[in-house]
Amino acid sequence: MHTDSHNEQTKNQLIKFSIVGIINVSISFVVFYFCYHLQITSFILNLLGSIGDTLQNLLISIGFESIDGAVSNVIGYAAGMINSFFLNKLWTFQTKSNTLRQAHRFFILNIIGLVLSTSILFLFVDVINWPYIPVWIFSTGLVMVLNFLGNKYWAFAETTIPTTKAN
């Protein structure tokens, strides 16, 4: 039946997406962890010179002593996102065409995910001072589920190569 074939394909894609997700989470977390502990925000603000000083003073004046969690998340997320696009395109959803359109849609989905996860980290880590690792794990899990659905049914949907079973 078509439904059985579709369900099997979705199951296989979900398994592959989860494996890619584990790889992406590992990449994202390592980059996030090192950026957070190296206080990459201070490094970036210092590179910006007087603009960085102005931004830092503005943040302090509105009550934010640190945005390390949010900035580190953006950098880590970007590293995982690049890896994710190529592994999901070539392995999970096995698409061979429309790379530009897929990349555009994938980017939109991931920007939404990045805004969501960064907002969660900013609010709960930088503002409320909750522990960063549990907050990061929660936000990453939520975004992973939303990304699978968006990738399967939108970003890579038109060019997914159907799998067929031999009789």
Report the distance separating Cα 16 and Cα 2, nearest Å: 21
pLDDT tens track for 58-111? 888 998 877 888 888 889 989 998 999 999 999 999 888 788 999 999 999 999
Residue 98 within a domain: yes
Q: Is the pLDDT of residue 167 over 60?
A: no
The total number of structural domains in the chain stands at 1
Residue 6 within a domain: no
Confidence of residue 159 (pLDDT cuts 50, 70, 90): very low
In degrees rounded to 5, what are phi and psi of residue 64? -110, 110
pLDDT for 45 equals 82
Q: Is the pLDDT of residue 160 over 50?
A: no
Report the distance separating Cα 151 and Cα 143, nearest Å: 12
Residue 3 within a domain: no
Domain that holds residue 133: 13-155
Residue 105 within a domain: yes
pLDDT for 39 equals 84
pLDDT for 79 equals 93
Residue 2 within a domain: no
Report the distance separating Cα 150 and Cα 152, nearest Å: 6
Q: What is the mean pLDDT of the chain?
A: 87
Residue 114 within a domain: yes
Report the distance separating Cα 51 and Cα 92, nearest Å: 43
Report the distance separating Cα 80 and Cα 78, nearest Å: 5
Confidence of residue 165 (pLDDT cuts 50, 70, 90): low
pLDDT for 2 equals 60
Amino acid letter at 1?
Answer: M
